[in-house]
Structure 1
Amino acid sequence: MDMTQNTLETLFDQLGLASDEASIDAFIAAHQLPDDVKLIDADFWTPQQARYLKEELRADGEWAMVVDELNERLHPKK
């Protein structure tokens, strides 16, 4: 049984990105998206990263909530 908790840190690990809190915060600050750009369509993802995020959202499984959290953090608040 996999007891790994799904967090932004583990999502960033899955995406092959630095996953410490400071690196995640810096990534999010540097990659804010306008409202009309979907998370999976952002130009800073590799094709593999975008595909992974899309698959996790479509599956609406364990990772969907974490991907949603990333989506919210990448879109600036009004």
Structure 2
Amino acid sequence: MEMCQHRMAELFEQLGLGNSPEEIKDFVKNHRNKRDSAPIHEASFWTASQSDFLKQAIEQDADWAELVDQLDVMLRD
């Protein structure tokens, strides 16, 4: 089975967000701890399409799932 390795910048691009290192850092800083223990896709700061993408990535264990998990950790630290 071939595994596709994505980078965090590509996840942010996929979500329609700024994907430079500074933009990613700012996004995490501005949204950290704003969702308590809710799943990442239920955070209020996502659009409906972003939320759907994140939810599907996890539920389907898609190529993006590992990065979504990493983003989840980044937003909780």
* TM beyond 0.5: yes
Identity of aligned residues (%): 34
**TM-score, length basis structure 2:** 0.87
Q: Which amino acid aligns with 1:11?
A: L
Q: Which amino acid aligns with 2:12?
A: F
Which structure 2 residues correspond to residues 1-78 of structure 1 after superposition, within 5 A? Answer: 5-33=5-33, 34-76=35-77
Distance 2:61 2:44 in 1: 23
Q: Give unmatched runs, 5+ long, in structure 1.
A: none
Q: Give unmatched runs, 5+ long, in structure 2.
A: none
Q: Runs of at least 4 residues of structure 1 off by over 2 A? A: none
